[in-house]
Amino acid sequence: MKYAVLFLAAGLAAAPALAQRMDIQPIPDLPIKSVPPASAPTPPPSEWQVSVGGGVSDAPRYEGSAYNRLRFMPLLEASNGRLFVSILRGVGYNFSGDRNFEYGLRLAPGHARRQSADPRLYGMGDIGYSIEPGAFLNMRFAPWYVSSGISTGVHGTHADLGTGIGLPLSGADRLRLGINLNWGGAQYNQTYFGVTSAQAAASGNVLTAYDAGAGVKDYALTANWAHNYDKNWFSSAGMSYKWLVGSARYSPLTQRNSMRAINFVLGYRY
């Protein structure tokens, strides 16, 4: 098991170089991060559980884009109930021993964006890869759950709050329905939705200068279905519908303020 964890750590170390060659976007409400397996037992503290696999996501090219595109979603993560290491979620530590009340600190990958991802971004330049320190707090009041987190980095500060209900459909299936709310600070919203005078000129004046202020960035309705084929193999399918609001909605970069995303992941845990 320790070799799997070392392999995962090596993958995280290589992530910055990989991110320079690809467009990194938020994965739409990937259920692996907050929903326990429907039938698999929770590993006791200090016992590592590793999940490997992958899938696809059909999501907007960037938040506000008029078009979607398919992305590959790698799944490679390990956790012992307290410490977790993940390609998608970063590195974090849960200080609680209660699986219904989790809180801790994390280092998570920030949202990079390449201007080549969409013609509308021409002149905006690339938003580089970054690591964002943050904190999280998750609670479960079966069948309800609440999740929250805050992160900050070179691109600014943002926070999320979600709530919903988890419904066991069978011994191997679990459905989760939820609503998420995302907030961005002034620097964060300006990074992803603002347009400077220089950027407007670089776009050939297709875009106009725009200052994005702090506030709620979006809210989304989500649905996820997790299925366990046996004690090792599992899959997760999700769909979300997001609405941009506030400064994000009225940005010159926003071509549509309501967006749909779907994702599917097949994994193996051991």
Where do the structural domains in the chain lie, given as residue ranges? 2-269
Output the CATH code of domain 2-269.
Answer: 2.40.160.40
> Which of 127, 130, 128 lies closest to 153, judged by CA?
130
Q: How far is CA 4 from CA 71, 78, 232, 257, 270, in A?
A: 25, 8, 16, 41, 10
Confirm if 248 and 193 have CB atoms less than 8 A apart.
Answer: yes
pLDDT digits (tens, 9 = 90+) for 91-121: 999 999 888 899 999 998 888 899 999 999 9
Please report how many Cα atoms fall inside a 13 Å half-sphere around the Cα of residue 130, on the Cβ side. 19
* Model confidence pTM above 0.75: yes
Separation CA 27–CA 35 (nearest Å): 15
> Residue 57 corresponds to which tokens in the numbers above?
């996501």
Separation CA 186–CA 53 (nearest Å): 37
pLDDT digits (tens, 9 = 90+) for 20-78: 444 444 444 444 444 344 344 455 555 888 999 999 999 999 999 999 999 888 888 89
> Residue 111 corresponds to which tokens in the numbers above?
């949202």
Phi, psi (rounded to 5 degrees) for 262: -130, 155
